[in-house]
Amino acid sequence: MTSARTRDRLVQRLREQGIRNPEVLERVRTVPRHIFVDEALASRAYEDTALPIGFGQTISQPYIVARMTEALLEGGPLRNVLEIGTGCGYQTAVLSALVVKLYTIERVEPLLRRAKERAKELGLKNLRFRHGDGSLGWPAYAPFDGILVAAAPLRVPEALLEQLAIGGRLIMPIGPEGRQELTRFIRREQKIDRQTLGPVAFVPLVGGAV
């Protein structure tokens, strides 16, 4: 279930769906997705599907992880990146090797603890974790070159746009359940550019922390 052949098949499916960035594809190939799901679901870890991780949350479909990561990286390398919605830590692990410093926020404390354990197991060093409300961002480390949000608000939180550096990219799903669109915002000197990247399905972005 975790063989090189199984992972190669997943990467090939992502290529067929349009993922082109070789660094993203290689990262999906090498990150052991099976350690981020319950043992009972490990045999399905390299299917291109979302899986439950408890607390009403899911580990995102590999295609979505790859698509969001690729969209974030388009436009050049990133140093200072914020992730909203750590979840089980899979997207965190994929992204960590592709940026200089990654800050990640999760509102569900048991999930955050589990993600920290997985990051330690994988030897990821460039991470800083926070238990809190991701819709508020992390002002102490702003501005960010990139922000990736793994949950869907009805509208983009103003705090996240304010914490983007000039030229910075924000990738997030927006909209109600059943009508969400993956969206990229780029902060310019005098305006925010907005680009729709296609329909997606995410859990809603919820404020507060538990």
Residue 200 in tokens: 């997606």
Who's near 190: CB < 8 A, 6+ residues apart?
none
Measure Cα distances from 147 to 91, 102, 183, 184, 191 in Å: 13, 10, 12, 10, 17
Q: Can you spell out the DSSP letters for 121-171?
A: HHT--SEEEEES-GGG--GGG--EEEEEE-SB-SS--HHHHHTEEEEEEEE
The secondary structure element, H or E, covering residue 196 is strand 192-200
Residue 97 in tokens: 């090797």
The secondary structure element, H or E, covering residue 100 is strand 99-106
Burial class (CB in 10 A: 0-12, 13-18, 19+), 6: middle
Residue 140 in tokens: 């102490």
Residue 72 in tokens: 């974030």
Which of 3, 43, 60, 96 is flagged as catalytic? 60
Catalytic status, residue 60: yes
What positions carry a catalytic annotation?
A: 60
